[in-house]
Amino acid sequence: MNEKKFTIGYWDSIFNHFSSTLKSLGTNLPSVSEIASSSRDPFRVLISTIISLRTKDAVTLEASTRLFSQADTPSSILSLKSEEIQNLIYPAGFYRTKAKNILSVSRILIEQYDGKVPSKRELLLALPGVGVKTANLTLNLGFGIDAICVDTHVHRISNRCGWIKTKTPEESEKALEQIMPRKYWIPLNEMLVSYGQQLCTPVSPHCSKCPIQGDCPKIGVTKTR
Ligand code: SF4
C-alpha cells in the first residue's frame, strides 16, 4: 500500500468518479439510507439496519416500511407480538431471530434509556442483534456522528482497490480510519454499498465500466466484465 497517494485530492477524485458513475446509472440509495433520508430518526435507522442484515435491499425497504406503518417507536413495537413482527418483516433473512431482537431492543430502550436510542457506540453494541455495522450505521445516519461503517461491500472494494490490506471488516474499519479524511467516513458506506451492488460486484466486477479501472490494482479479482 502506497500511503503517499492517499491525499485529500485522491479521495475527492474517487468519490467524484464513483458517485457520478452511480448517478449515470440512476442508482437509488441503499435501503437504510432511503429510510434515513425520509426521517433521521435513530430508532428507525437502528431497526431497519437490524432488518437489513443478510437481506436484499429491496426486501429490507419493504419489510421496514411495513413494520413502521404499524409501529415505529419502542413502545408501539412492544404492543406487537413476536409473530406479528415476523409477519411484517418476512421475507427478511432470519426474520424470527430479528423479530425477537427488535422486541428485546425496544424493551431495553424503554427500561434503560427512556425510550431513546443511545448515541454511544459501546451502548449500541450491547443491544441484542447489534454488531459493529449496525452500531456505526446508526451513529452515521441516525445521529450524524462520524464512523466508518464497514460491511461486506466496503471491505471487498477497499481491499480490491489496494487502499488497505485486511482480513476482516473490523480490521478494515481501523485501517480506513488511518487513511481517509473524516469528511468521507459517513458517505463511504452508502457509496460503496451501491457501487458494490452495481459495478464492483462480488463475482466478476464490471471493470470495463469503472472510471478508475486504469488505476485499480484489482487485487484478488480473477474475472471481470
Ligand atoms: S476497476 Fe474493477 S475492481 Fe477496481 S473498483 Fe472498479 S469495478 Fe472494482
Interatomic CA distance for residues 211 and 9, integer angstroms: 16
- Mark whether 35 and 139 lie in a shared domain: yes
> Which residue's CA is the closest to the ligand 1 atom numbered 3?
218
Q: Is 156 in the pocket of ligand 1 (CB under 6 A)?
A: no
Res 4: pLDDT? 55
- Mark whether 19 and 61 lie in a shared domain: no
- Mark whether 35 and 103 lie in a shared domain: yes
Whether residue 217 is contained in a domain is answered as no
CATH of the domain at 91: 1.10.340.30
CA 209, 212, 214: angle at the middle one, nearest 5?
95
- Mark whether 131 and 36 lie in a shared domain: yes
- Mark whether 11 and 88 lie in a shared domain: no
Interatomic CA distance for residues 33 and 1, integer angstroms: 31
CA of 110 to the centre of ligand 1 (A): 45
What is the grid cell recorded at 90?
418476512
Res 3: pLDDT? 53
Mean pLDDT (10-residue bins), the chain, 225 residues: 74 92 84 76 95 90 96 98 98 97 98 97 96 89 89 96 95 95 88 93 96 95 95
Res 1: pLDDT? 47
Instruction: Give, for ligand 1, the residue of 15, 191, 200 to mutate: max count of ligand atoms closer than 8 Å to Cβ.
Output: 200
> Which residue's CA is the closest to the ligand 1 atom numbered 8?
200
Number of domains, the chain: 2
Return all residues near 5 (Cβ < 8 A) that are at least 6 apart.
Answer: none
- Give me the half-sphere count of Cα atoms (radius 13 Å) on the Cβ side of residue 23: 6
How many angstroms separate the Cα of 86 from the Cα of each of 22, 32, 110, 171, 223? 34, 19, 21, 34, 39
Amino acid at 128: P
- Mark whether 121 and 204 lie in a shared domain: no
Whether residue 215 is contained in a domain is answered as no
- List active site positions: 133, 151
Residue 165 structural domain = 3-25+147-209
Q: Is 14 in the pocket of ligand 1 (CB under 6 A)?
A: no
CA of 22 to the centre of ligand 1 (A): 13
CA of 148 to the centre of ligand 1 (A): 20
- Mark whether 121 and 88 lie in a shared domain: yes
CA of 159 to the centre of ligand 1 (A): 10
Whether residue 222 is contained in a domain is answered as no
Which ligand 1 atom is nearest residue 216's CA? 4
Interatomic CA distance for residues 20 and 179, integer angstroms: 23
- Mark whether 133 and 155 lie in a shared domain: no
Whether this prediction's pTM lies above 0.85 is answered by no
